[in-house]
Structure 1
Amino acid sequence: MASTPQPLSGSEIRETFLKFYEQRGHKILPSASLVPEDPTVLLTIAGMLPFKPIFLGQKKAEVPRATSSQKCIRTNDIENVGRTARHHTFFEMLGNFSFGDYFKENAIAYAWELSTQIFGLPPERLVVSVFREDDEAFAIWRDQIGIPAHRIQRMGEDDNFWVSGITGPCGPCSEIYYDFHPERGDDNIDLEDDTRFIEFYNLVFMQYNRDADGNLTPLEKQNIDTGMGLERMAQILQKVPNNYETDLIFPIIKTAAEIAGIDYAKADENTKVSLKVIGDHVRAVVHLITDGVTASNMGRGYILRRLIRRVVRHGRLIGIENEFTTKVAETAIALSETAYPQVRERESAIKGELEREEAAFRKTLERGEKLLQEIIAKSLGHQVSATLNDTGGGFSGTVVQLPEPKVSETPPSEKDSLSRKVITGEDAFTLYDTYGFPLELTQEIAEEQGLTVDVEGFNVAMDRQREQSKDAHETIDLTAKASLDAIGNTEFLGYTQLSTQATITAILANGQQVESAEAGTEVKLILDRTPFYAESGGQIGDRGYLSGDTTLVRIEDVQKDGHLFIHVGRIERGNLEVGMPVMAQIDRACRRRAQANHTATHLLQAALRKIVDSGISQAGSLVDFDRLRFDFNLPRSLTPEEIQQVEEQVNTWISEAHDAEVNVMPIAEAKAKGAIAMFGEKYGDEVRVVDYPGVSMELCGGTHVHNTAEIGVFKIISETGISSGVRRVEAVAGAAVLDYLNVRDKVVRELSDRFKVKPEELPQRVTNLQGELKATQKALDEVKQELAIAKSDQLLTQAESVGEFKILIAQLDIDADSLKTAAERLQQKLGNSAVFLGSIPEPDKVSLVAAFSPEVNKKGLQAGKFIGQIAKLCGGGGGGRPNLAQAGGRDPSKLQEALEIAKKQLTEGLQ
């Protein structure tokens, strides 16, 4: 086949790639979800991620060769999206994989054949890179493929050596680059020059295992992992200046431009950047929602929310005032549905999520833009805000003279004596706290104006607010706080000891630090060492006692303030003094309950991930002595069957008596082993890992049972939704289950006694009562209808003639449904007529009904419009069809006036 680039569509490139490898023994596998099974990764960031367990030796490959087109999301360099030719949040990675089958020679030969013979890329326009020490790959490219040595670049470990972690499988890479400007010659090839070269195919040769000392040992089975960027190959073959102008993305951009009334070809650079951001992010959003992600303030949900907000904001920057995201999403759905039919199947969910988020964020923008405008103006030194429009700021108007701005500046570097102006952390926090402006949004807008944001100051303000909002603590005097900070750490012994001798190092009463306190005083005590667990990680603090020769203090709560454990309690007898020795003893029964409930939350999360959705992640928890609560990300409610299966799975693990293994290790090692971390939680370099092998492994500082059998039993109480995309399971475990069952048993016994049936007969008895009630209600309704008919028939004599028509205006005090029945009946009996009835069914309620014959309608009188105007007189409203309409009101005193006006207007309308 001649080496002439083929102008293929994105879909054709995808199909050609997969068929090429299918013909060479590779099984085509569907794209995995953007929500990965790997608990250490938030989103699917690479084509190889679904195969990572195979590469790590944790799972056996089902086939020796595979190929796929994998959806991926990356947001680590989101600020470059739209500004460079090839940065994206959403992209597709075409890949071919060998699991211990073929290796370098085949991988290189396949890649070269596909690139030059199938896609038709001229060999003279291709340059390859290899790892600097990979002489084998260099020789294959030079001797077997025939690439001149000067077009094979040796690169360092950062660029051309793949690793899965600190230890484990790893190996060198080889990459293929396309040269856009071969006329520049081969003398000084610089692959970092992305104006000339684009890397489009990466071949990873997984051939070593790296141990803890960094030593490399050849793997028994060598693997191949490759990736070709679909968007990049589309740019090359379609001969467009960037990935955004390929047929994979440009139709979305075109839709957004049309909504904004913009000609993309004539647009300025800032406008094009905004259009590219919209095109890229809408693709990402559509596929995230398709894979079950819903917007929230944490984890994947936060990424989705941030992307939607960036779409909305960039839409406003280019002049789109009305809601538009669903329109551009429709284009993205149409582009994707052939390869990913589930996108169309989830259309309603996609558009619904976009509508909700766009509407909410537009309100946020409207509230905060004026303040942000003022902040930017003062940070720029009282410049006129109209200049913001020229640079894409999206604001208008003139800024009035403001008080002297508190502008902090970054220190000048040695190379630059001019410091850059900064939006203060206080201002950024005010935008966040008062108006809901995310810090990232403030940073983006500031960047467009040549400003930076004092992130450290923002974090200080955030931490200060958190401290102020700790409702579990009473206020501590600042002087006392400074003194407490100098005391030193409280040594925690509670993982292994339930009691210990300790010394009182500080006493606080009424927020003040004191030297002593007497019986009856509410105090907060700090000890040099303690067995009491302080509230953290969702688990409440321990209860217990401090005792001395003549002293007893009941401890009801323990909180942590930095390095100090604050024991909250009341002196029951005796006096306390700083320096006094005491025996610290926790309430063992409470501790057992707490650790049973805490371990149960771990088992619950494992069961949810196993049975419901492997992408479930924790969104919050509470571990109390008598109950537990677990919040998690899921866009739907659990089915009754799923709840039962989860409960049964947890109880199975409890009965299997799994021992706990608790270790402290580097966080990288913990994640490499598969330990689950809570998204958004800050962890140190060393973490505590609680592992029930084969069941659950999490990073956790809480207290737990030594063996799952100690929990006893687990019972789910409820499953509810608490916010968009977040569900909550409440449950009990251990001794708390008996308390729960005792309450339920008491209720059942009382109902059994009341209904004179056995407990197992209660459901049928309730069903029978419901049937009887329904029958009674039906009979009552029939009586009401008969009464309405009887009363309404008496009104026939009150009908008046208006020309050829009959009109009947009257008050008939029956319920609204019966009033409607009466009006319809009267109109039918009167024939060519208009009937208008009013009722006061309750002391503060008015009901109205209008029934008009077709001949009345022909006179221009519509029941729906007519009754709506009359109802306003009674403080209400309503409407309906031209022949029959109902309305209501809240002012019965106006009913007679309304009936008189109705009569007058009907008479005039029919004459």
Structure 2
Amino acid sequence: MILIIILLMNHNKKTINTAFKIIADHIRCLVFAISDGVFPSSKDRGYVLRRLIRRAVVYGQKLGINEPFLFKLVPVIVKVMGVHYYELHDKVDLVTTIIKSEELKFWTTLSTGKQLLLQVIKTQKKVDAVSAFKLFDTYGYPIELTLEMAQEMNATVDLQGFEKLLANSKDNTRKARSHHQALTFQSPLLTNLKVDSTFIGYTQDQTKTNINFMLKDEKEVTKLTDETGFLILQETPFYAEKGGQAADDGVIKGVNGSAYVSDVQQGPQKQHIHQVTVTGTLTTTDLVVASIDSNHRLDIRKNHSGTHLLHAALRKVLGQHVMQSGSFNNYQYLRLDFSHYENITPEQQEQIETQVITWIKSKTECEVIHCPYDEAIKLGALAFFGEKYDKTVRVIKFGDFSIELCGGTHCHNTKEVEQLLITSIESKGSGSYRVHALTSHQTISEYLSKQLLTMQAESANWFNQYQNLKNNTNQDLTIESIAKTISKLQPCLSDWRNGKLLISELQSLFKKWQINNQELQRTMVLKQHLNLVPVIKEQYQLLIANFNGLDVKTLRELMEHYRNQYQNIIIIFINKNNEQESLILVASSKELHSNKQYHSNVILQKILQAYDGKGGGSPILGQGKINKTITDNEIMLLFV
């Protein structure tokens, strides 16, 4: 079908060949990348795939293909390349689904972008740089299509200005790095620094060592006195933040001073650069004792090993296409980003969690293997895109269920992780998810206690509102039953899970009850004020009434009632909002509108001018505010 469309188009041979080559190249790359677990997204490698899909679609348009087509080519690629790459056959449905989904989203983008572009050209007769960049950056509309459409409509595009804005955007993104990262990775002083620094933290929490280098305000110094700065130790037990693992903290003690280590980063020459706050004095000639916070490190190890187990469980439950795309673990929690293209059900989440707990209880030893990179891959170790690996790598292996390249610190046995609780799984966008989890009995117990207190406080708040407003006509026994159940929940896993469901149900029921109660109260108020009698004037009837604390919706419904009941009526309602403020509403019958002096907004302005108020409206309805309380008799005097 595609071939027929192409043959019918009046394209020159060079255009057709170029488009064919680009589309073929892109679809081949997409099939292999997605099969390896890389999904289209808005950042990093996923963004590259998204751009490939969109570029291929644009070239398809040049051939006259105005519908999603790339996904139809996946089986062809798998048939041709699958002869040598057998694993592609198992991923054909997944790859097809992902590419089709991205194509459909992009066609929606193209439709939106085209309408916006047409509006710009129609208004300005050209496409300025800001509009072209906004279409590209905000709406994802390719600059190639902007140029093409502008040419068809004899409009110009400020391409030079667009490219300048694009370059500025990229530059700002680069500058958005943290100050510390900019220091450690960009400082010429550190780039050329050759001092020794050896990490011994895999086996030691404390060591006697020398200070080899000090830094303050990006300048080398020989001492630090009662100030913050950076230093490098000859040997260090402090882990530098990398590979998703947070840095250690702890203390460095010398003869004349000590330093609290708040952060550690790896410099360009792989030395561990310690950010310190010094009390007293430390110098580069000092022999010091460097000690990490061992409890802090233990909690980090639990979360790092928990991350490996969680990753393995995700792959086992959701499928081998799942691949970690980022992680972070500190002493408090772990976070794991991963690629996956379907919704994750509560049942799957429970299976994942149960699998990790099963592995924890298996008391599996952690095996650390040092070997060449190629040998590690042959062992089945997972390596992650974007990570840089040396020729000799470190492999972390837990039994036959988890094996990954990793430079971090880990538990010696899965039993040390103690427990794992998934606190949330959320979508980060197309094909990307983020899971948060906790490990260790104490951390999870503290979390459940805080969660339960929050739930019970929310429940009590809603129930107290309900209690204050309920009566015999609006009682809801289900609300009372759920609130009572929540108040009796205990800080345990089953009650926490049950509590999440109950609090959601209670919130929904309370909101519905609140709306129904407001309507009930409004109906009762309306019934109380349906017998007001207007004063008969020569040309019209005048109804002035005073109220206390009624809502605007009720007042307007009441006005509508009297406007329907009487002809030639002017209605003025005064509502006391508080001790210092009155709300004024004015309505008049349509029969009076032939005379402008009877328009609601004109009558309102007469009242507001008399009492220095503010407001406005239409001939049918006016609304204003006066910063004092007034009575209906005071208003009546204006009409005598």
Match of residue 50 from structure 2:
305
Residues 304 and 837 of structure 1: CA distance in aligned 2, closer, same or farther (over 3 Å):
farther
Deviations 1:30-76 (A, max 9, x none): xxxxxxxxxxxxxxxxxxxxxxxxxxxxxxxxxxxxxxxxxxxxxxx
Shift of 1:655: 0.9
Q: Which residue of 1 aligns with 2:444?
A: 737
The answer as to whether partners of 1:506 and 1:515 remain within 8 angstroms in 2 is: yes
Tell whether 2:277 aligns with 1:570.
yes
Post-superposition offset of 1:544: 1.6
Q: CA deviation at 1:269?
A: 3.3
Task: Specify the alignment match of 1:329 in structure 2.
Answer: 68
Query: 2:3 aligns to what?
Result: 250
Aligned residue runs from structure 1 range 632-781, under 5 A: 632-734=338-440, 735-744=442-451, 757-759=487-489, 774-775=512-513, 777-781=515-519
Point out the structure with the larger helix share. Answer: 2
Counterpart mapping for 1:382-531 below 5 A: 434-435=168-169, 465=174, 469-472=177-180, 475=183, 481-482=188-189, 485-518=192-225, 520-531=226-237
Q: 2:105 aligns with which of 350, 353, 362?
A: 353
Conserved 8 A contact 1:554-1:569: yes
CA contact (8 A) 2:128 2:157 kept: no
Tell me which amino acid in the other structure corresponds to 2:50.
Answer: R
Would the alpha carbon gap of residues 433 and 669 (structure 1) be closer, same or farther in structure 2, given more than 3 Å must change?
A: farther
Task: Give the match's secondary structure for 1:598.
Answer: helix
- Give the unaligned 5+ runs of structure 1: 1-246, 255-262, 372-387, 403-426, 437-460, 802-807, 853-869, 875-890, 901-911
Q: Which residue of 2 aligns with 1:296?
A: 41
Q: How does 1:198-209 map to 2 (within 5 A)?
A: none
For structure 1, which segment, 702-711 or 769-778, has the greater mean C-alpha deviation from structure 2 after superposition? 769-778
Residue 631 of structure 1 is matched in structure 2 by 337
Deviation at 1:595, TM superposition (A): 1.0
Distance in 1, matches of 2:319 and 2:223, equals: 55
* Percent of residue pairs bearing the same amino acid type: 26
Q: Residue 497 of structure 1: SS of its match in structure 2?
A: coil
Tell me the SS of whatever aligns to 1:759. Answer: coil
- In the alignment, what sits opposite 2:318? 612
Cα distance in 2 between the residues matched to 1:504 and 1:345: 57
Task: Please tell me the residue identity of whatever aligns with 1:250.
Answer: L
Distance 2:589 2:420 in 1: 61
1:893 matched to 2:626: no
Deviates more, 1:282-291 or 1:638-647: 282-291
Provide the rounded CA distance (Å) in 1 between the counterparts of 2:559 and 2:3: 60
What amino acid maps onto 1:894 in structure 2? G
Q: Residues 513 and 672 from structure 1, CA distance in 2 versus in 1: closer, same or farther, beyond 3 angstroms?
A: same
What do the CA deviations read for 1:479-511 (whole angstroms, capped 9, x no partner)? x84377333342111122222222111111233
1:264: how far off?
A: 4.8
Question: Which residue matches 1:269?
Answer: 13
Cα–Cα, structure 1 residues 526 and 398, in superposed 2: closer, same or farther, change >3 Å? Answer: same
1: CA distance, partners of 2:242 / 2:250: 18
Normalising by structure 2, we get a TM-score of 0.64
1:745 Cα deviation after fit: 5.8
Partner amino acid, structure 2, of 1:580: D
Contact conserved, 2:396 with 2:405, CA < 8 A, in 1? yes
Distance in 1 between residues matched to 2:620 and 2:285, nearest whole Å:
83
**Structure 1's 434 and 795: CA in aligned 2 closer, same or farther, altered over 3 A?**
farther
- Aligned equivalent of 1:241: none
Alpha-carbon distance in 1 for matches of 2:53, 2:534: 63
SS of structure 2 residue aligned to 1:705: coil
What is the alpha-carbon distance in structure 2 between the residues aligned to residue 490 and residue 350 of structure 1? 47
Measured in 2, the distance between the counterparts of 1:293 and 1:401 equals: 34
User: For each residue in 1:746-767, what CA deviation from the matched residue of structure 2 results, as whole angstroms up to 9, or x when unmatched?
Assistant: 5578799998853269959977
* Letter in structure 1 aligned against 2:274: H
Compared CA separation, residues 746 and 550, structure 1 to 2 (3 A): farther
**Structure 2: how far apart are the matches of 1:297 and 1:370?**
20
Q: Is the 8 Å Cα contact of residues 635 and 726 (structure 1) preserved in structure 2?
A: yes
State the alpha-carbon separation in 2 of the partners of residues 713 and 474 from structure 1.
38
**CA drift at 1:591:** 0.9
Distance 1:588 1:309, change over 3 A: same
Q: What residue identity is the alignment partner of 2:258?
A: L
What is the distance in 1 between the residues matched to 2:488 and 2:411?
39
- On the 8 A contact 1:553/1:571 being kept in 2, the answer is yes
Deviation at 1:624, TM superposition (A): 0.9
Q: Tell me the TM-score normalised to structure 1 length.
A: 0.47
> What is the aligned counterpart of 1:552 among 250, 255, 258?
258
- C-alpha distance in structure 2 between counterparts of 1:846 and 1:633, whole Å: 58
**Cα deviation 1:545-579 (Å, max 9, x = unaligned):** 22234432221211111222111112234x22213
d(CA) in 2 for partners of 1:511, 1:725 = 41
Which stretch of structure 1 is more off in the superposition, 675-684 or 749-758?
A: 749-758
Q: Tell me which of 298, 317, 335 is aligned to 1:592.
A: 298
1:700: how far off?
1.2
- In structure 2, the CA distance between the partners of 1:484 and 1:551, relative to structure 1 (3 Å rule), is farther
Asked if the contact 2:224/2:282 (under 8 Å) is kept, the reply is yes
The answer to whether the 8 Å contact 1:288/1:304 transfers is: no
Q: How many residues align?
A: 524
Kindly indicate whether the alpha-carbon contact (under 8 Å) linking 1:839 and 1:848 is maintained by their aligned counterparts in 2: no
Q: Structure 2: which 5+ residue stretches go unaligned?
A: 80-91, 118-126, 134-146, 462-482, 591-599, 605-612, 623-640
Matches within 5 A, 1:857-868: none
* Residue type at the aligned position of 1:328: E
Aligned-residue Cα RMSD (Å) equals 5.9
Tell me the CA shift for residue 606 of structure 1.
Answer: 1.0
CA contact (8 A) 2:364 2:415 kept: yes
Kept in 1: contact 2:50–2:102 (CA 8 A): no
Q: Separation in 2 of the partners of 1:724 and 1:546?
A: 46
Matched position secondary structure for 1:710: helix
Secondary structure of the residue aligned to 2:397 is strand
Is the CA contact (8 Å cut-off) linking 2:299 and 2:331 kept in structure 1? yes
Paired with 1:504 and 1:536, the residues of 2 have a C-alpha distance of 22
Quote the offset at 1:705 in angstroms.
0.8
Q: Show the 5 A alignment for 1:44-193.
A: none
1:540 aligns with 2:246: yes
1:738, distance to aligned residue in structure 2 (A):
3.9
> How many angstroms apart in 1 are the aligned matches of 2:393 and 2:113?
37
Alignment check: 8 A CA contact 1:823 1:851 kept? no
Partner AA of 1:505 in structure 2: N
AA matched with 1:311 = A
Partner of 2:595: none
